[in-house]
Amino acid sequence: KKIAIISKMTALLLIVVAGAYSNFYASKELLKGGRIDYYIQNNVNPANQINYIIHNPASAVITFVKSLIFLPYLIFIKDCSFFHLILFPGLDIYNALCLIFFIVFLFLSEDLKMAKRKKLELIILFLIIYTSIFFIQYLSWTPVGYDGILGVGARYFIPILAILPLVFGHKSNSEKLTKYFIVFTTIFLSGMLLIIIAGFY
């Protein structure tokens, strides 16, 4: 119970610190980076977007669901690059291999013997955060009434990827398997570094 209380208090403290940082510093600094110009030129306004959703619920729902279905391919394979700056031949194949490796990693991860209810809670948490990322970008980066969602990047999903191995892992971990993970992770990270170097230099 003591560890649980400390964990919850720590999580709450981090939320408070992150909220304060975002509200008093990060938000103001981001506005200096040309975002105001983007908002004005592209008719981006969270308040107006919410108003559009209220008055056009069917259209908004269709746009949102369509984006959830079709955007993952663009996000995780087609446009999965460093801030969309690298258009390197073979990048699609590289991204697909990374995705396949991650899926295999999920099912070869150690089974932590978690209760089914706990795994269900984690899946629900993952889906809430996953869809919230789309919704936030729909409000904060997509033109009002636009038939799609703009600005969703693969890097936004990195924090919640750690949830998936906890849910889908069903193998007993071993030293040999861990070595394979280290080797392949190193290979993929090295490959991404080479792509960045080749793309810019």
Domain assignments of the chain as residue spans, ordered by start = 1-33, 44-200
Query: Residue 173 pLDDT more than 70?
Result: no
Kindly state the average pLDDT of the residues 131-135: 96
Its pTM surpasses 0.85: no
* pLDDT computed for residue 103 by the predictor: 83
CA distances from 28 to 92, 93, 115, 143 (A): 36, 39, 44, 21
Kindly state the average pLDDT of the residues 121-125: 94
Query: Residue 79 pLDDT more than 60?
Result: yes
Question: Could you tell me the pLDDT band of residue 186, with boundaries at 50, 70 and 90?
Answer: confident
Kindly state the average pLDDT of the residues 91-105: 81
Range scoring the smallest mean pLDDT among 16-20, 118-122, 164-168, 189-193: 189-193
Q: Helices (H) and strands (E) in the chain — how many of each? A: 10, 0
Residue 110 and residue 167: Cα distance in Å, rounded?
Answer: 10
* pLDDT computed for residue 126 by the predictor: 95
Note the helical H segments in 22-110: 27-30, 35-42, 46-55, 57-73, 91-108
* Phi-psi category of residue 84: left, alpha or beta, with phi > 0 → left and psi -120 to 50 → alpha: left
Torsion, Cα of 32, 35, 37, 42 (10° steps): -170
